[in-house]
Amino acid sequence: MTDITDRCREFRRLHQSGCFVIPNPWDPGSARTLARLGFPALATTSSGFAWSLGRRDNSIPLETVLVHLRAIAESVEVPVNADFEGGFAIEPAEVGSNVAAAARTGVAGLSIEDSTGNPSRPLFDFNLAVERIRAARRAIDESGTGVLLTGRSEGFIAGRPDLPETIRRLTAYAEAGAECLYAPGIRSMADIAAVVRAVAPRPVNVLVGSDFATVTELAGAGVRRISVGGALARAAWTGFLAAAREIAEKGTFTNLGRAVSHAELDGSFGAG
């Protein structure tokens, strides 16, 4: 599946029924590895990508992110969803312009967040947040790409864990044209089920960054899509830091003995 139209069509099909895991690579190597493991779609991670560049999350400029999205999309044949943060703008018109650029990178989907990065006012005002989603919807429609739009409400990870407000926002984002809804940070199965009911029949994405639920449990709650955000990148960094700290602090190398072999890793990528 190499044609972007086919990838967009397949990505939409995945959202129509059942439940699938969409893990988050941070570079072409991790993307190819996840695709080889059989995952039907992938999603980029702003945090994982930023850490790979030695930067904090949400600090990478738009042009660098667009290059990254294209590199990930071109490295695999499965659909790729873009973590497009807050659209790299505040005003709806600018969000729309940036979304149009992202839609040209070969991704099959993208998400727009409503967080501001300001701790005193962590979420955009309701009406502005809705207009930002509406602008993203319009840009995608005008692009003719068929990219799937996910609307994200960030209250549970931005210091405003208010379920009724989160549901109000997600419902409005669905009405504004978001085709998948996502509220990262919700961990209660009752709250997750409430979100699923509120936005039905639109599919819901749930973030799993620890072992609070299983795929079977989330599927039973009606969740359609499960992502892991920066958790796989954190897992990789965990192994790296354990080995590096051991060398730096103890002068020993036991953690290196637990690593996958050079032959196995090198052989998994091939020449291309």
Q: What is the predicted pLDDT for the residue at 3?
A: 85
Q: Give bridge partners of residue 123 from the DSSP assignment.
A: 115
Given a contact cutoff of 8 angstroms between Cβ atoms, the answer to whether 137 and 97 are in contact is: no
Given a contact cutoff of 8 angstroms between Cβ atoms, the answer to whether 235 and 45 are in contact is: no
Residue among 71, 99, 73 at smallest CA distance from 4:
73
Q: What is the dihedral of CA 34, 61, 82, 223, to 10 degrees?
A: 100
pTM (2 decimals)?
Answer: 0.96
Stretch 25-36: mean pLDDT: 98
State how far the Cα of 153 lies from the Cα of 201, in Å rounded to an integer: 18
Chain-centre distance for alpha carbon 127: 24
Mean pLDDT of the residues in the chain: 97
Q: What is the predicted pLDDT for the residue at 84?
A: 98
Q: What is the predicted pLDDT for the residue at 154?
A: 98
Stretch 77-85: mean pLDDT: 98
pLDDT confidence of 1, banded at 50, 70, 90?
Answer: very low
Stretch 91-106: mean pLDDT: 98
pLDDT at 271 over 70: no
Neighbours of 262 (CB within 10 A): 8
Chain-centre distance for alpha carbon 248: 34
State how far the Cα of 144 lies from the Cα of 75, in Å rounded to an integer: 23
Q: What is the predicted pLDDT for the residue at 82?
A: 98
Q: How do residues 45-70 score in pLDDT, each as one tens digit?
A: 999 999 999 999 999 999 999 999 99
Share of the chain above pLDDT 90, in %: 97
The correct CATH number of 4-229 out of 3.20.20.60, 3.20.20.70, 3.40.50.10950, 3.40.50.300 is: 3.20.20.60
For CATH 3.20.20.60, list the domain ranges present in the chain.
4-229
**CA distance readout (Å), 262 to 145, 257, 265:** 40, 11, 5
What value, to the nearest 5°, has the Cα angle with vertex 209 and ends 34 and 87?
80
Q: How do residues 134-156 score in pLDDT, each as one tens digit?
A: 999 999 999 999 999 999 999 99
Q: How do residues 180-218 score in pLDDT, each as one tens digit?
A: 999 999 999 999 999 999 999 999 999 999 999 999 999
**CA distance readout (Å), 144 to 9, 43, 67, 80, 163:** 13, 21, 21, 17, 34
Q: What is the predicted pLDDT for the residue at 270?
A: 76
Given a contact cutoff of 8 angstroms between Cβ atoms, the answer to whether 219 and 188 are in contact is: no
